[in-house]
Structure 1
C-alpha cells in the first residue's frame, strides 16, 4: 500500500474490530540434551537453559485499528506456543521516514509490515543496508505462496520478507441500484448514465481516478505499462497507455468534481452513486454503510481486462537482524513463517479484513468469501507494482498529468508526453 493512501485511510478510520483466534502451531520436539548447559547441579541433573530456545524481536506496524487488534491476538497465540516474544510498535510517523532515521542510528525494527513496492528501493541500499537476506534462515517452502507473491518478496536473488496478502482495486456496486454487475465498459456507462445527476448531488461513479494506483487498470488495459520493469523502460507515453487514458477520461465525466479519496468514497457510501472503484481495505466500512454491497472484477474495455496494479503485503526483514542475536532472527522468522502459512489465520483475515490470500492452497480452493474472491479474480487480471527503484519516479508525474487532464488544462497525449519526459529526466 502506498504511503499516500495509507495516510488517507488512517484519517478516515478502519473497519470494526473483530476478535479472531489464530490457529495452532506445532513445534518440533528437541532431541535429548538440547537446550541444556554442560554444567550439572549437585544431584547430577543438567540445568535447562530456556533462554537459548527463545528470542525477542521488534516489529513496526502501521495498520488500521481492527487489523492491529487481530494481529495482537495472533502474536499472543504464537508467543504462548513458542516462548518467543514479539514486540509490536507503531512507527510514530510516516513509516519510510521513520526507517530512514532509525536504521542508520541502529534503532530500527527487526521487521515491518508494508507492501512489496519498497523491496527494490531498499535492497539496493548499501550504506547503510536496509534489508536482511533471510534465504538461509527460512524453512518454509516458497512454493506455498502464489507465484506473484514469491516474486514480490525477492530481489536480485535475495529473500527480503514473506508475503501474507495481496490487494488491488476493483468494482463495488450497490445491489439496490444495480441488479446485475456490468461485464463490459459500455454496460457500465449505460448504468452510470441512469444515475448521474451532479445538480442533485448524485453521480455515476465514486473513484479517485487521478491517483495512478487507482487509475492503473484502465491506463494499462490495452497492454501498455507505466513502467516496464523487465526492460527498464518508461511506457507512460506509449500509444497503448494513451488509449487507456481515453477510456479513463470517460469515467472522469461521472465522478464528483473533487477527485480526492475522501470526497469520492463518501459519495458511494452515502448511496449517491451506484459504483465505486476501490480496494479491499474499504470492505469493512462499506458493508456497514451499504445494505446490499456487491463486488466484481472490473468490466472489460474493448475485450481487454483492466490491468490494475496489485500490491503484496509482506513482513520485511530488516538489516538490524544482521548484527542481532540468532535468537532474534529465529523469533521473527519463526513468527513470519507461522503467520503467513497458518490457514486459519489467513482465512480469518480474509473473512474479517478482506485480505486477499496468497497462500496457494487457499487460493486454489473455493472457500473464500464472495467479495474476497472477486478481488482475487481482479488480482489475476492485474500486474504487480514494479519494485525497481525507478518506479519511485513514476508516481508523481503521472498523478500530475492525470490531474491536468481531469481539470481540462491539457489534452491526454500532451499530458502523458510531459509526464514521460519528467520521469526520464529523474531516472
Structure 2
C-alpha cells in the first residue's frame, strides 16, 4: 500500500445489545496509520455513516475521506480516524431522538418512539470501546469528536452536552431543532436546553440559507446564542456559519465540511477576507433581521461572526447590535460597515415603515396527462388536484426571504425529470406575494421512446 494513502475499512454486522439490531461500521484510517506503528490518533464519530464515504440514495456523498486527505496533506489538520455509524433507515428518527424536557417529539412530523438514550449508550458503551481496543486511538474527550447533520445534528447536540466526559468536540450541521409545519408554520421545539457550560473545547454549528422551513436560521442561531450565554467563547470555542447558498443535501454539507474539520482538529489560520451578507431592506415594523458577516481564513475555513464591531453611517436610521441584529429607527438609507481583524465590509440598508412577516405563494403545477389521478403531489408542501384537468395547485404563506430548493414529486416516490431523465431541482425565494406556474414535462418512471 502507498505510504501516503488513507484507507476505509468496513466492519460488518456490528451488533448492539442496547438497540438489539445490527449495522455495518465504516472506519477511515489516515495516511500514516499503516506504517507509523507508534502513533495514536484522535477519533471523529459521524452519524448517517453510509453517506459519508459512499453515495447516498440521492447519489450524493460527504466524501469525508477526500476532504480529510486534502487537509492532512496540506498540513492544516492533524491526522484523525473517522468512524461512520450508518443509520437504520426507518429507525433513524427514533434513534436520533432523546426523551428530554423541551423535546416535543409527539408533535413531530413522524411518529417517534424516542431511543436517543439507547443510541447514546450504543455509541459510548459499545462502539467506542470496540474502536479504542482495535485501533491506536487517543481515547480522551479532548481527542474525541462527534458530528452529524439534520436529525444527526440534533442527536450530536444532545449526546455531546450530556456526555462531555466522552466527547470534547462537536460539529452540529443543519440541526433539526424545530419541526415547522410547512402549511401552518406552527413551530414545535425538538431540543433540550442545557443550563451550564461543559468542558467541551470546540463547538461548530451551521446551516444553509436554502433549507426553507425545515431548518431555519432563527432556530439554529437561538441555540448558538444560548451556548454563547453559557460562556462558550463566540468565534473561538464556539463557531457558527450561515451559508446563504447551501441547501439541505449531502453535497452542500460536503462542500463546507473542511470548516468544521479545521475547527475541531486543525487551525483556522489568518483571516484573509470579509463579506457582509443580508437583506437590502428592513422594516421599522417587521421580521427580526440579522446581518451575516462571513470571515474566510487562509486555511479555507469560513465562519459567520457571532460578535462583531459595526459602524453605522447614519445612526438615526438604524442601530446594529454586536450580534448583528438591525434595529430600524426611521425611514431612509444608510451604510453599515463591519470590522474584523483589520478587514472591513459594508452593506447598504434601506429602511421602510413596514415589511410583512410572510409572503404568499400561489403555485400551479401542470403535469403529464398520464399522471395517476389518485396520487398525491408535493412541491415542498402538498398540492391539491384540480377537477377535470391534469393540474395541481396550492397556496402557502412563507416567512419573508425564506428559500427552498425542491423537486416536484409524487407520493409513490416518482419525481420530475427533464427530457434526458435528469432530476429537475427548482429554487424559490419568498420576496413578495407571487404566483408561480410550473410544467412537469416528464416523470422519472416514464419510459423513453428513442
Pick the structure with more strand per residue.
2
Pick the structure with more helix per residue.
1
The higher-RCO structure (CA 8 Å, 6+ apart) is: 1
TM-score between the two structures when normalised by the length of structure 2? 0.28
